[in-house]
């Protein structure tokens, strides 16, 4: 239902990414290195350590089809890693930015990727065959602060970006040389100009936008921010109308669509939650609290009693473990398995250094309110 993946890391995890068949895992432990773990006979072993960044790695994305990894970090650089025989080889991306590169995301067609950074621009990067280099085009319009999250629309032409200027925006990010002529249209915009801001949505209470995403058919944009609020825009209803739901929880740091109308969110509360989006309503379906309620022993052992009295002059024992699987904030949610547009497994990582696999099908059976459609 919710299993702990044991890699004995003992350090907080800043980001993670899976390969296509989920037999390999790239993670960064809040450091300069990226570790590639691979699974053999149900045990995870360190396969390679990617050491090219000179400062903290902030984001990793793994392109499933072309099997390439892109990483970016606070050394202002991004690298594309491709497999050469059995060894991952880096290629530098020329980002032309003066601040940390905070987030990175491959487009669905895997021909380009977007990098968000602190120097108030988003780099849309693609391989230039003439120069044999990864080059970047900048989106600068209306950005006022650091970009913290990115997500591509399934049509490869629209890009959602949220940041510390309390806004989530949709940009045109179509590159004709790479993507070919724009064939698909979407209801978000009648015409898409490159590097143009198409829509801009503000948070209610000036919260940083930590995570954003399009659903599988690309009609709904949802995002979460530091004001503990979940937002959504449904372009089939009105692409200008922002629906928000204030929540009684601590802020969410990460969100992912697990079907066309439901999202999983996780953050400082250490427990993921599933919200359903229907029409103009966002409603809590279930808190995925699977931990068994701890039986408090009524009789304290004499040794504990004296120990505590001596130490802090109190009768209660001080217990810092919390009643959830993650023992600290969850900062990254990734999709692990899906059938069609329904996600069956997600993985979460957090500051406690745990990687937890959530089996949504089993959780649906356990929680009556949880119906993922």
Partner 1 sequence: MAKNTSLSGFRKIDIDIYNPENYNEDDVQNIQEDLMPNESEIVSLINSKRSNEALSLVLKNPPLNSKNQQVKDAVLNLVMRVLRSFPNSLEIDNAVKSLSDEALDVLMKYIYRGFEKEPRDSAQLLTWHEKVYAIGGNGCIVRVLTDRKRV
**How many whole angstroms separate alpha carbon 48 and alpha carbon 34?**
8
| Residue placing its CB nearer to partner 1 in the complex, 284 or 357 | 284
Residues in touch with partner 1 (CB under 8 A): 120, 144-145, 165-166, 202, 204-207, 226-229, 246-251, 269
Residue 46, judged by CB atoms within 10 A of its CB (0-12, 13-18, 19+), counts as exposed
Which token pair is 65? Answer: 């089809």
Q: What is the DSSP string of 273-304?
A: EEEEEETTEEEEEEE---SPPPPPPSS--HHH
Residue by residue, DSSP assigns 163-219 as: ETTSEEEEEE---HHHH-S----BTTBSS--TT-EEEEEE-TT---EEEEEE-TTS-
- Residue 205 CB, shortest distance to partner 1, in Å, is 4
Query: In terms of CB distance, is 127 or 249 closer to partner 1?
Result: 249
Classify residue 337 by burial, with Cβ atoms within 10 Å: 0-12, 13-18, 19+: middle
Question: How many Å apart are CA 22 and CA 346, to the nearest integer?
Answer: 11
* CB of 29 or CB of 123, closer to partner 1: 123
For residues 170 and 158, is the Cβ–Cβ distance under 8 A?
Answer: yes
Q: DSSP 3-state assignment of 328?
A: coil
SS3 at position 310 = helix
> How many Cβ atoms sit within 10 Å of the Cβ of residue 328?
15
Q: In terms of CB distance, is 250 or 312 closer to partner 1? A: 250
Q: Which is nearer to partner 1, 204 or 278 (CB)?
A: 204
For partner 1, the closer of residues 73 and 251 by Cβ is: 251
CB of 344 to partner 1, least distance (A): 29
Q: Whole-number minimum distance, CB 264 to partner 1, in Å?
A: 18
Q: How far is the CB of 193 from partner 1 (least distance, A)?
A: 22
Q: Which is nearer to partner 1, 143 or 221 (CB)?
A: 143
What is the nearest approach in angstroms of partner 1 to the Cβ of residue 254? 16
Q: Decide whether 226 or 334 has the Cβ nearer to partner 1.
A: 226
Using CA atoms, how far residue 207 sits from 51, 62, 175, in Å, is: 34, 29, 31
State the Cα–Cα distance between residues 77 and 52, nearest whole angstrom.
10
Q: How far is the CB of 207 from partner 1 (least distance, A)?
A: 5
CB of 265 to partner 1, least distance (A): 12
DSSP 94: E
Report in angstroms how near the CB of residue 248 gets to partner 1 at its nearest.
2
DSSP 8-state symbol, 355 = E
């Amino acid at each position: 239902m919710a299993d702990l993946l044991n890699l004995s890391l003992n350090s907080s995890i800043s980001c993670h990414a899976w390969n296509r068949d989920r037999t390999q895992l790239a993670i960064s432990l809040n450091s300069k290195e990226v570790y590639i773990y691979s699974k053999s006979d149900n045990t995870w072993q360190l396969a390679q350590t990617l050491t090219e960044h000179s400062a903290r790695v902030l984001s990793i994305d793994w392109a499933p089809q072309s099997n390439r990894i892109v990483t970016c970090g606070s050394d202002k650089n991004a690298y594309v890693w491709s497999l050469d025989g059995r060894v991952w080889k880096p290629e530098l991306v020329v980002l032309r930015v003066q601040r940390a590169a905070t987030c990175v995301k491959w487009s669905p067609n895997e021909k380009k990727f977007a990098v968000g950074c602190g120097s108030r621009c988003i780099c849309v990067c693609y391989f230039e065959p003439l120069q044999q280099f990864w080059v970047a085009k900048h989106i600068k319009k209306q950005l006022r602060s650091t970009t913290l999250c990115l997500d591509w629309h399934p049509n490869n032409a629209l890009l959602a970006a949220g940041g510390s200027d309390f806004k989530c925006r949709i940009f045109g990010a179509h590159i004709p040389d790479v993507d070919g002529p724009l064939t698909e249209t979407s209801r978000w915009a009648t015409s898409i100009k490159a590097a143009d801001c198409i829509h801009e949505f503000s948070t209610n209470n000036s919260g940083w936008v930590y995570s954003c995403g399009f659903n599988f058919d690309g009609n709904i944009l949802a995002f979460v921010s530091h004001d503990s609020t979940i937002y959504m825009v449904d372009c089939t209803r009105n692409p200008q109308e922002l629906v928000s739901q204030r929540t009684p929880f601590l802020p969410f740091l990460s969100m992912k669509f697990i079907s066309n109308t439901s999202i999983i969110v996780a953050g400082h509360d250490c427990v993921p939650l599933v919200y359903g989006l229907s029409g103009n309503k966002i409603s809590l379906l279930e808190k995925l609290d699977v931990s068994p309620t701890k039986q408090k022993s009524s009789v304290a052992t004499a040794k504990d009693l004296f120990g505590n009295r001596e130490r802090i002059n109190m009768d209660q024992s001080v217990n810092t473990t919390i009643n959830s699987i993650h023992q600290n904030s969850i900062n990254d949610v990734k999709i692990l398995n899906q059938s069609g547009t329904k996600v069956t497994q997600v993985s979460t990582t957090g500051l406690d250094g745990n990687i937890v696999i959530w089996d949504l099908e089993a959780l649906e059976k356990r929680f009556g309110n949880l119906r993922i459609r």
